[in-house]
Amino acid sequence: MHPVLQHVSDAWAQELSGRDAAWCQLHPFGNVRQWSAQELIEHLVLTYKSTSLLLEERLEKRRPTRSHSTFTQWVLQICVLSLGRMPSGVPAPGNTRPGRLNWPPMTGEELAAKLSEGLQQMDTLLDQCRHRFGIQRVTSHFFFGPLRVDQWRRFHVVHGHHHLRQFRRLKRTAAPLPDTSHPAT
């Protein structure tokens, strides 16, 4: 896996380590409109699947997109991909909202493995596109317009860290991990 994506995967694995399945279902302040840890990971995995479908389409067509960025898309690319911050309050597209994968409750380690697997599959396709199309814009993001392989990776890094910040807020508002260092007396 590309090192920038591996860094995202490792950061999530560290944060999710030791979390049981019940904890991974908790919502910040008990508000079900804010995503649980499992829902955050499912959303990220769905974005990797969505990107993978776009990349597979381009590989099957044997040509990169012919689309051009609008001025607005270009500005968004600069703001998000260059500055590294996702805008808050933008709702996730329907095809990336949690609940679509019908996962059973999972532990933090299981969720980290799902995230890593999704990233790896997507990154393999990104490598294939880079090999076939070079530095051309390969396919279009619904919000940012056509992106190169390096820009797709940057998007997923920024997006992964955006949701990692949400997860860290969740950790502050949910029940702490049990202390297993001292046996109960």
In a domain, 178, yes or no: no
In a domain, 78, yes or no: yes
pLDDT, tens digit (0-9, with 9 covering 90-100), for 16-74: 999 999 999 998 877 778 899 999 999 999 999 999 999 999 999 999 999 999 999 99
Reported as a pLDDT band with limits 50, 70 and 90, residue 8 is very high
User: Residue 177: pLDDT above 80?
Assistant: no
The predicted structure's pLDDT at residue 179: 52
In a domain, 184, yes or no: no
The reported pTM is 0.90
Residue 157 phi/psi, 5-degree rounding, is: -70, -50
Identify the bridge partners of residue 145 per DSSP, sorted by sequence position.
141
Residues contacting 20, CB < 8 A, separation 6+: 107, 108
Domain that holds residue 71: 3-173
User: Residue 176: pLDDT above 60?
Assistant: no
pLDDT, tens digit (0-9, with 9 covering 90-100), for 87-133: 888 889 999 999 999 999 999 999 999 999 999 999 999 999 999 99
In a domain, 182, yes or no: no
Q: Report the distance separating Cα 117 and Cα 58, nearest Å.
A: 21
Number of domains composing the chain: 1
In a domain, 86, yes or no: yes
Helices (H), the chain: 3-16, 37-61, 71-77, 108-133, 149-173
In a domain, 181, yes or no: no
Determine how β-strand 145-147 pairs with β-strand 139-141.
antiparallel
CATH number at residue 28: 1.20.120
In a domain, 45, yes or no: yes
In a domain, 28, yes or no: yes
**What is the pLDDT averaged over residues 165-177?**
80
The predicted structure's pLDDT at residue 58: 97
